[in-house]
Amino acid sequence: MGKAYPSREQRAITRHQLNAYLTIYNRFTDRPIGYIGNISAQGLMLISEIPVMVGESFEMRIKIPHEVSPTEVYIDFKAVSQWSKPDVDQRYFDSGFEIVEADQGIINLASSLREFFSFR
């Protein structure tokens, strides 16, 4: 699983807010962890009901919605939590993750979401 990520300068450009959330699952238990708040090839912000421990490694899975792909498609990756804080809505927590192991699927997803939510 190689890292083919854009440069640090491109990171600010490639990170985009999502209007609709995709669910993040624990890769091994298939239980939901939370929702994507934003994503880039290097990292993501998770919105969850409980805070996450900072510095911990998480095995994650994103399932592509059936509206996008009629067959089951998922992207597995490993991410390390960098920070966690209460959301503006006090029922939730926002947590930042660095993606440390991923395949091309996460890069394609970030790129597709960026295109979808871009105003042209």
95 domain-assigned: yes
Question: Measuring CA to CA, how many Å separate 68 from each of 33, 64, 65, 73?
Answer: 21, 7, 6, 9
Query: Is-contact 108 69, C-beta < 8 A?
Result: no
User: pLDDT at residue 25 above 90?
Assistant: yes
2 domain-assigned: no
Query: Is-contact 36 19, C-beta < 8 A?
Result: no
What pLDDT digit, counting tens, does each position of 60-118 carry? Answer: 998 877 666 677 788 899 999 999 999 999 999 999 999 999 888 887 877 777 676 66
Residue 82: per-residue pLDDT: 98
1 domain-assigned: no
DSSP category for residue 70: S
Where in the sequence is the domain holding 112, given as residue range(s)?
Answer: 8-117
Instruction: Kindly report the CATH number assigned to the domain that includes residue 17.
Output: 2.40.10.220
What single-letter amino acid sits at 46? Answer: L
Residue 117: per-residue pLDDT: 61
Backbone phi, psi, residue 17, to 5°: -70, 145
Residue 37: per-residue pLDDT: 87
What pLDDT digit, counting tens, does each position of 33-51 carry? Answer: 999 888 888 999 999 999 9
The rounded percent of the chain whose pLDDT value lies above 70 is: 74
Residue 101: per-residue pLDDT: 92
**Counted domains in the chain:** 1
What single-letter amino acid sits at 106? Answer: I
